[in-house]
Amino acid sequence: MLKRSPALMMLLELAAMLLVFSLCAAVTVRLFFEARTMMVQSRRIGAAVEIAQIAAECYRLDGNAEDAAREISAVWDADGYRAVVNRDGEAFTVHLQPRGDELQISVWFQAENLYEITVASI
């Protein structure tokens, strides 16, 4: 039977512990990265809801889409009002589309529709 030296066994144990520690560290870093991504996305959605709420409350009061557009500094384009609103250093595109006695409000960040709501006047 072949005898192994204690130094070799200690070195193998150390290598195994280092491997386990490295795997745990990689998983922890991945979890922190995912948490940060979720935090940023949550903050963006919160800002989108806040922007839409401002326009929705203004429209709901008197049913005038122009007043809601003016509240967020939107301008008329081919199919509704558009505005670029800055929140927390990020630019959100807001689109207001009047549809009869309702107003559809969409808030976009880059190419992603973060929030959309349809509001009827009182």
Tell me the domain boundaries of the chain: 6-120
Under the banding of pLDDT at 50, 70 and 90, the label for residue 69 is very high
Q: Which residue has the tokens 């290598």?
A: 15
| Cα separation, 115 vs 109, whole angstroms | 10
Vertex 43 angle, CA 46 and 87, to 5°: 80
pLDDT for 6: 84
Cα separations in angstroms, 11 against 3, 7, 21, 32, 47: 15, 6, 15, 31, 54
- Average pLDDT of span 40-61: 94
98-116 pLDDT tens trace: 988 899 999 999 999 999 9
Nearest CA to 43 out of 105, 115, 122 is that of 115
Mean pLDDT of the chain: 92
Within 10 angstroms of residue 85's Cβ, the number of other Cβ atoms is 19
